[in-house]
Amino acid sequence: MIIAVDAMGGDNAPDEIIKGSIEAAKENGVKIVLVGDPQVIKEHLHRHKTDDVEISIEPSSEVVGMDEHPATAVRKKKDSSIVVATKLVREGKADAIVSAGSTGAQMAAALFGLKRIKGIERPAIVTVLPTLKGGKILLDVGANVDSKSKNLLQFAQMGSVYAEKILKIPSPKVALVNIGEEETKGNELAQESYKLMAQESTINFTGNIEGRELLSGDTDVMVCDGFLGNVVLKFAEGMAATIFGILKEELQQSMRTKAGAALAYPAFKAIKKKMDYSEYGGAPLLGVNGVSIICHGSSNAKAIKNAIGVAEECVKANFIEVISETI
């Protein structure tokens, strides 16, 4: 299996990206194609032992910046790392792409290069939220700020396939993120989406879910439009950082609290691991005709290694074909 990795995308590129790619190649036995500036990539590869792994370089001379307009940048920068990596998948030279660069650029490159799966109106960005009962899915988290009820139904179908095939959750429970549990709650989009999901036999729809229940873990797939999903995601990230920051500050107030912190260290470490996005690595852009894994912009080597693992799982599970059949 060949995975194309955007070596130049992300806050920690290229060092952490390359390091994570090497680790994935060693542990999973996949072939890695690093896409980017050959000279820069070679300099970083020389710092690691790569004799026992299959890693090649695909040259690209440009990089799409995080502050650039995604669609415009993808059209103008034909030789950018994200465009070249996506092209490898389109041409069958790679089975999947992994990138921690501009999410908008990755989505634009996938739409232009890989196209949509037949029947899918809009793609969706999915994220795995850490909950009390393990990782659960939230989508869309930013691909579509304005959506129709049919779009949300397709998000639910694609999310259900991902939960079942990749997260190994049998008959995943699907819910609509809303302001109340009753069918009549919410705006027109929510009410119409509820009706469509309740009638759909391809998903295990359980009704509405309120914001306070998102992290309980009782729902496997949580569906909403991209505007709401992105707000929820960023709020959750900020809340986690704030709580850990306050906890750290309070535990350093006195010798007594420091001693207590030392005793509770194993528990704190376990909690941090459950909340760590790098444990999940990344998630696919759902709805495009190819496996395109989106990673957090600040991904480290561990996150990239796990994201490559997700890409491998998607390919092995014939993920694109299953979604096509479902829709």
CATH number for the domain that contains residue 75: 3.40.718.10
DSSP H or E run through 92: none
List the structure tokens of 302.
Answer: 């561990």
pLDDT of residue 274: 67
Average pLDDT for residues 223-240, to the nearest whole number?
Answer: 90
Q: How confident is the model at residue 270 (pLDDT cuts 50, 70, 90)?
A: confident
pLDDT in tens, 51-69: 788 999 999 999 998 888 8
Specify whether 132 is located in the same domain as 275.
yes
Q: Look up the pTM and report it.
A: 0.87
Higher local confidence (pLDDT), 257 or 274: 257
Q: Domain count of the chain?
A: 2
Q: How many angstroms from the chain centroid is the CA of residue 11?
A: 16
Same domain, 131 and 197: yes
Side-chain-side CA neighbours of residue 254 (13 Å): 3
Task: Supply the pLDDT for residue 258.
Answer: 80
Instruction: Tell whether 134 and 268 lie within a shared domain.
Output: yes
Instruction: For residues 2 and 89, state if they share a domain.
Output: yes
Which comes out higher in pLDDT, residue 239 or 201? 201
What pLDDT does 13 receive? 86
**One domain for residues 101 and 30:** yes
Is the pLDDT confidence value at 5 over 90? yes
CA distance 127 to 310: 12
Burial (CB count <10 Å: 0-12, 13-18, 19+), residue 212 = exposed
Instruction: Check whether residue 262 and residue 181 sit in a common domain.
Output: yes
Instruction: Give the pLDDT score at 179.
Output: 94
Residue 268 is predicted with a pLDDT of 72
Residues 294 and 275 in one domain: no
Helix (H) or strand (E) holding 110: helix 103-113
Same domain assignment for residues 211 and 116: no
Indicate whether 38 and 91 sit together in one domain.
Answer: yes
Q: Are residues 161 and 107 in the same domain?
A: no
**Residue 301 in tokens:** 């080597």
- Residue 114 lies in domain: 1-120+287-327
Same domain, residue pair 251 and 201: yes
135 with 61, same domain: the answer is no
